[in-house]
Amino acid sequence: MKRKNRQIGDYFLISALILLLLGLCFGILAALTYLYPHFLKEQLGFVSLRPLHVSSVLFWIILAATGSVYHGLHQLTSENKNHRSSQAHWFLWVVAILGILYSYIVKDFGGKEYWEFNPVWALPIVFAWLLFLKNFITLSKTIVNWPVYIWMWLTGILFFLFTFSENYLWLFPYFREHFVNGMTIQWKVNGSLVGAWNQLIYGTAFFLMDRISNTTHTGRNKLAFFMFFLGLFNLMFNWGHHIYTLPTEKYIRHIGYVVSMTEWVFFIKIVYNWKKTINEIQKYQHYFSFHFLIAADVWVFINLIQALIMSIPAFNLYTHGTHVTVAHAMGTTIGINTMILFAACFEFLIPRREKGWQSNPILSISFWGLQICLFVFWLSLNIAGIQKGIWQMSNPQSSYSKMMDSLHPYFEWVLFSGFGLLLTLGTLSFTLLLNRKKAE
């Protein structure tokens, strides 16, 4: 039976998967231009391909998290109608994303780091987020005795809206003309925005745990609520570890160090407890959703160790601005966020009658190939970053070109494993998109 009324969450998840595929392609092209500077120099070059890659991946995360929230709310409220405001929410994102990608292609810049597009395209994003807040309140107000993931989704939406607006304070002369204040706000915003969408993503993870186990234990667990409050505290204060190199107050750095990434410890514990409650039938029925959540937990552990090391001020001097930071960002973006969001995509985009995909060898190979390629990718970036950090702090220094030449083999491994990520994530994404098309 064909599905006549696709949920608005499907529009967001499908758009997100398309953006992920674009982001992977832009990432490969950016890596090629990084290794071979004359490649596509006249057409796009690294200056355009890097923000095209970064923005596409960021929007994959945000749109997939948004689609997951809509799906979760619709299942909790049995509300399957696509209201005009939710359709307008999706349409505004489409307008913003098309405008942003076009502005990068024609080199119409004007923003700050990670948000380098012309600020005019931030307006539809703000309006879209206001509609998201309105739609969330409309749906969630009918839910009695909110589980933890409703609270996490609400705080994620509110703080993203506030922090994203804060990101554009540099448009006012007071902030733009004071370098230290401007950089402090910019780096603080980047850290807080991650905390905001983490609330959306971890909330989705908890919702999936309850759905897979067919219970409400995780969503009403005291440990989960403690993690929510800790995550909220981190959202407001853990950005302090982003500004070690700026001349700010010491107490800000100390708070940032103490609270940095501590909620990950509780996430590991929660997943560990939840895993013990899942029987073989539930694992079979939710095969890839379950395995992607476990993979995310493993990458949480890996990135927790790296985050704790990077948060040490003495070590941060060596790693700040090197490929170690990029490795950490990729470990969290792909290893944690993307794994959880793929768990959501397999849960929400695949009809219940077609859940038995564990016998599909292509998907299984893609899943395990993804883990291997990501580890090689992450390790290569870390080795390159450590070597560059040692070079930055050494006295006397060798020439920059000589240092970069010594890192060339590691960048080749980054490119090689990047092709592997494109192949594995691409296979998983195309499978989900094709299955969704058949289900209509």
Q: CA dist 355 to 7, 70, 291, 349, 386, Å?
A: 19, 21, 13, 10, 43
- Please give the residue that has the higher pLDDT: either 264 or 327: 327
Picking from 133, 131, 58, 42, the residue whose alpha carbon sits closest to that of residue 91 is 131
Q: Are 374 and 303 in contact (CB under 8 A)?
A: no
Q: Total structural domains in the chain?
A: 1
Task: Note whether residue 431 is domain-resident.
Answer: no
Digit-coded pLDDT (tens) for 69-111 = 999 999 888 766 667 889 999 999 999 999 999 998 888 877 7
pTM of the model: 0.87
Helix (H) or strand (E) holding 115: strand 115-117
- Strand, helix or coil for residue 274: helix
> Cis peptide leading into 396, omega within 30 of 0?
yes
pLDDT of residue 181: 66
Tell me: pLDDT of 3 over 60. no
How many other C-beta atoms can be found within 10 angstroms of the C-beta atom of residue 306? 18
Q: Which structural domain, as residue segments, surrounds residue 64?
A: 1-144
Determine the Cα–Cα distance for residues 268 and 211; give it in Å rounded to an integer. Answer: 18
Task: Note whether residue 74 is domain-resident.
Answer: yes
Digit-coded pLDDT (tens) for 384-429 = 888 888 877 777 777 777 877 888 888 889 889 999 999 999 999 9
Average pLDDT, the chain: 81
pLDDT of residue 88: 94
- Strand, helix or coil for residue 110: strand
Task: Taking residues 13-20, report their average pLDDT.
Answer: 96
pLDDT of residue 4: 41
Task: Note whether residue 348 is domain-resident.
Answer: no
Task: Note whether residue 198 is domain-resident.
Answer: no
pLDDT of residue 258: 63
Tokens encoding 215: 């219970």
Task: Note whether residue 245 is domain-resident.
Answer: no
Task: Note whether residue 122 is domain-resident.
Answer: yes
Task: Note whether residue 125 is domain-resident.
Answer: yes
Task: Note whether residue 24 is domain-resident.
Answer: yes
Tell me: pLDDT of 1 over 50. no
By CB atoms closer than 10 A (0-12, 13-18, 19+), residue 191 is buried
